[in-house]
Structure 1
């Protein structure tokens, strides 16, 4: 159930295509080999293209729900996995934007936490936004609400 203050993010399609570009090129290489050498290379091309399609669907199956108190991540096609991270456990925020992601208007966000199960949470290939400011505000509100004070 989505409430108005929740943000739902997914990796962009362009990010997923970028991640499987090497499989597409390899598949095309096998198609060229099938054209010039042996038609049996078509089977390799189709198998690699199938693996690329599965990888694309797997990348796009990631969902990040950012609520007021928790961040819930889920992923998987055949077997779904859902993890939750309490906002007050987040300690640090890192944004990385390699050149190709900059050109596509995307970013990777790394959240470091004190949670034993999820010490580092990666949000990959999401659209560039002011997400860190939103998360920072929600972390501070969650810490005040739960009466948690940080001692350095």
Structure 2
């Protein structure tokens, strides 16, 4: 019997925090400007620092582990939530690379699954997303063959009757 092994483990890039980090810098600049006229306002510098730290930790504590059998997703800074999706349940994969992601060598992988608790899974801002998508596709197919599972979708609009291959009602 084959043993489950990890073939990729990673977490999103901190580039996801470009917005929160920029906001924290702008707020800090505003507080410093206000502190020139009202020195006790400098205490307010703790708020943007805490906000930036929390944003950092939220992304840092999110990990994705792809094994030969499943995708394990770990989220949470204080309390952890670990969820898993069996690879044979993956129905579709889409790679998204926005312009700023292409500049930084990152990309998002969106998965559509038949898992009831996680029908849509996003693996955001990871490097090497194209290679990972190909590895994942091969592992999904291998797992489907091993489990003898095939994914079938049914057309919900055809609920009134059955249709043949040409789309004609039978």
Q: Deviations over 1:70-129 (max 9, x none)?
A: 000101111011010000111111111122222211111111101110011111111134
* SS of corresponding position for 1:149: coil
- Larger relative contact order, structure 1 or 2 (CA cutoff 8 Å, min sep 6): 1
Question: Size of the alignment, in residue pairs?
Answer: 148
* SS of corresponding position for 1:148: coil
C-alpha distance in 1 between matches for 2:85 and 2:19: 26
User: 1:95 corresponds to which residue?
Assistant: 95
User: 1:24 corresponds to which residue?
Assistant: 25
User: 1:135 corresponds to which residue?
Assistant: 136
Scaled by the length of structure 1, the TM-score of the pair is 0.88
Scaled by the length of structure 2, the TM-score of the pair is 0.79
Structure 1 unpaired stretches of 5+: none
Structure 2 unpaired stretches of 5+: 154-170
C-alpha distance in 1 between matches for 2:34 and 2:103: 33
Map 1:1-150 to 2 at 5 A. 5-13=6-14, 15-20=15-20, 21-35=22-36, 37-129=37-129, 130-150=131-151
| Higher Rg | 2
Report runs of 4+ in structure 1 exceeding 3 Å deviation.
none
